[in-house]
């Protein structure tokens, strides 16, 4: 097969949906398929290069002074999608997220009978509302609604990250084909043989971008409660983001400097070292469909490092923990969250059991090699 992956993403990628796309591309290439990527050009990146046999074409991206200028990428992606479909004799166009998919849809009349897929990694409208990027009843909200609806209804299939996300899609596009391919961990990077960063014990770690739905304030409230009975506990934040300064201010205000530490941003390949040094790892998700559909990358990366997880009691995450016995889904109250943290910190056998369950699940199901084969099989079925 000849596959075109397209989206407003940086390649090579090390975080988020860009990482998901990059992992699929690398593994599909190893399976013998011809892979072409159309993505964002950032900084001094080349307009074209070959990486591990994958052809990477880049077009200008406009993100400053606001992320909304990214919509200006659509004409570039549109024209280049048409060009590359014919030049590279593409069979399937897999749009990753909204801008890439919408650009591919616009090109549909000009690319023949090629299949177009919508790689839907989240619920963009809800996520933008939570972060303040698309206020309710604004022009931005209407634009996002229009783009997402078109992507759901007019593509040949929607690739979702969870079963519940597929149900959400069906509410808007009842006749649409959905196929669930969850996130995963790269076992070459996230493995227990990696060196460990020494963290003060007992150590509770949150990894990720600190924005609205990371709920840093909620974690701080929980840390304050835990510290009353476990005064030496340390809550670590690994990552940066727009809410970082606010969380640091709250830490000082609540006089939690002894118990809350900030590790800043580290290169992706360094992240496993910090996870290995932790006793318990955290995942925070928002209320509503945006949180209910989510099974973030960090869940599987924690599991690969044999760490127990405490997460929000959202639909997919709660169901996942119940099935694989890898963590605790806590009710959305600091007292309940703190109770879950203490339960794991005080029970080493339970931590180890959950950790081993997680590692087993990643080895057998939630790794990029296995899931790329699953995606490959769906491509082949779609082309029949």
Of 46, 52, 16, nearest to 34 (Cα)? Answer: 52
Question: What is the full DSSP assignment across 79-104?
Answer: HHHHHHHHHTT-SEEEEEHHHHHHHH
Residue 192 lies in a domain: no
Beta strands in the chain (DSSP E): 2-6, 34-41, 48-51, 54-60, 92-96, 115-119, 157-160, 178-180, 203-207, 234-238, 260-264, 280-283, 309-312, 327-330
Q: Are residues 121 and 215 in the same domain?
A: no
pLDDT 10s per residue in the chain (384 long)?
999 999 988 899 877 788 999 999 999 999 999 999 999 998 899 999 999 999 999 998 775 545 555 667 888 999 999 999 999 999 999 998 888 999 999 999 999 999 999 998 876 555 555 555 555 667 777 787 888 899 999 999 999 999 999 998 999 999 999 999 999 999 999 999 999 999 999 999 999 988 766 678 899 999 999 999 999 999 999 999 888 999 999 999 999 999 999 999 999 999 999 999 999 999 998 888 888 889 999 999 999 999 999 999 999 999 999 999 999 999 889 999 999 999 999 999 999 999 999 999 999 999 999 999 999 999 999 999
Residues 6+ apart with CB under 8 A from 171: none
Residues 6+ apart with CB under 8 A from 290: 122, 123, 126, 127, 130, 213
Total domains, the chain: 2
Q: Are residues 241 and 173 in the same domain?
A: no
Q: Are residues 296 and 152 in the same domain?
A: no
Of 217, 5, 177, nearest to 93 (Cα)? Answer: 5
pLDDT for 13 equals: 85
Residue 196 lies in a domain: no
- What is the pTM for the complete model shown? 0.93
> Residues 61, 70: contact at Cβ < 8 Å?
yes
Identify the burial level of 1 via C-beta atoms within 10 angstroms of its C-beta, where 0-12 means exposed, 13-18 middle and 19 or more buried.
Answer: middle
Boundaries of domain holding 164: 2-184+367-383
> Residues 276, 198: contact at Cβ < 8 Å?
no
Q: Are residues 257 and 108 in the same domain?
A: no
Residue 280 lies in a domain: yes
Residue 35 lies in a domain: yes
Residue 191 lies in a domain: no
User: Alpha-carbon distance 195 to 237, whole Å?
Assistant: 19
pLDDT for 247 equals: 93
CATH number at residue 355: 3.40.50.2000
Residue 10 lies in a domain: yes
Residues 6+ apart with CB under 8 A from 139: none
In this structure, what token pair is assigned to residue 315?
């639909």
> Residues 204, 234: contact at Cβ < 8 Å?
yes
Residue 189 lies in a domain: no
In this structure, what token pair is assigned to residue 113?
């009978």
CA distances 130 to 275, 276, 293, Å, are 27, 31, 15
Q: Are residues 92 and 175 in the same domain?
A: yes
Q: Are residues 210 and 224 in the same domain?
A: yes
Cα maximum dimension of the chain: 66
Q: Are residues 153 and 104 in the same domain?
A: yes
> Residues 118, 95: contact at Cβ < 8 Å?
yes
Q: Are residues 165 and 228 in the same domain?
A: no
Compute CA 142 distance to the chain's CA centroid, rounded to the nearest angstrom. 24
Residue 8 lies in a domain: yes
User: Alpha-carbon distance 47 to 56, whole Å?
Assistant: 8
What is the radius of gyration, based on Cα positions, of the chain? Answer: 21
Q: Are residues 245 and 334 in the same domain?
A: yes
User: Alpha-carbon distance 266 to 9, whole Å?
Assistant: 20
DSSP state of 214: G
pLDDT for 125 equals: 55
Q: Are residues 41 and 166 in the same domain?
A: yes
In the sheet that 178-180 helps form, which strands lie side by side, from edge to edge? 48-51, 54-60, 34-41, 2-6, 92-96, 115-119, 157-160, 178-180
Q: Are residues 54 and 106 in the same domain?
A: yes
Q: What are phi and psi of 9, to 5 degrees?
A: -140, 155
Q: Are residues 148 and 38 in the same domain?
A: yes
């Amino acid at each position: 097969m000849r596959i075109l992956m397209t989206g407003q993403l940086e390649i090579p990628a090390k975080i988020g949906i860009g990482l998901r796309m990059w992992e699929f591309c690398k593994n599909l290439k190893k399976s013998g398929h011809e892979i072409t990527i159309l993505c964002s050009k950032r900084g001094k990146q080349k307009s074209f290069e070959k990486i591990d046999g994958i052809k990477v074409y880049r077009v200008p991206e406009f993100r400053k002074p606001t992320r909304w200028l990214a919509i200006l990428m659509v004409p570039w992606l549109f024209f280049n999608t048409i060009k590359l479909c014919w030049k590279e004799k593409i069979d399937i166009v897999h749009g990753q997220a909204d801008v890439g998919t919408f650009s591919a849809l616009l090109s549909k009349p000009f690319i023949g009978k090629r299949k177009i897929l919508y790689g839907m990694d989240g619920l963009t409208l809800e996520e933008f509302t939570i972060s303040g990027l698309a206020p309710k009843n604004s022009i931005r909200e209407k634009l996002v609604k229009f783009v997402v609806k078109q992507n759901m209804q007019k593509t040949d299939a929607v690739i979702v990250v969870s079963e519940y996300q597929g149900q959400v899609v069906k509410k808007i596009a009842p006749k649409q084909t959905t196929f669930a391919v969850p996130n995963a961990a790269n076992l070459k990077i996230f493995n227990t043989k990696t060196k460990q960063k020494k963290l003060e014990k007992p150590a509770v770690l949150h990894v990720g971008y600190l924005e609205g739905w990371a709920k840093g304030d909620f974690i701080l409230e929980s840390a304050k409660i835990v510290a009353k009975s476990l005064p030496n506990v340390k809550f670590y934040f690994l990552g940066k983001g727009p809410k970082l300064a606010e969380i640091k201010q709250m830490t000082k205000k609540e006089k939690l400097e002894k118990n809350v530490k900030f590790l800043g941003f580290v290169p992706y390949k360094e992240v496993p070292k910090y996870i290995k040094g932790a006793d318990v790892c955290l995942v925070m998700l928002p209320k509503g469909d945006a949180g209910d559909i989510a099974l973030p990358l960090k869940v599987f990366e924690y599991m690969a490092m044999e760490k127990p997880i405490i997460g929000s009691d959202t639909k997919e995450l709660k169901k996942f923990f119940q099935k694989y016995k890898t963590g605790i889904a806590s009710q959305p109250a600091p007292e309940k969250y703190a109770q879950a943290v203490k339960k794991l910190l005080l029970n080493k056998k339970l931590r180890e059991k959950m950790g081993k369950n997680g590692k087993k699940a990643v080895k057998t199901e939630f790794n990029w090699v296995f899931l790329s084969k699953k995606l490959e099989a769906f491509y082949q079925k779609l082309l029949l």
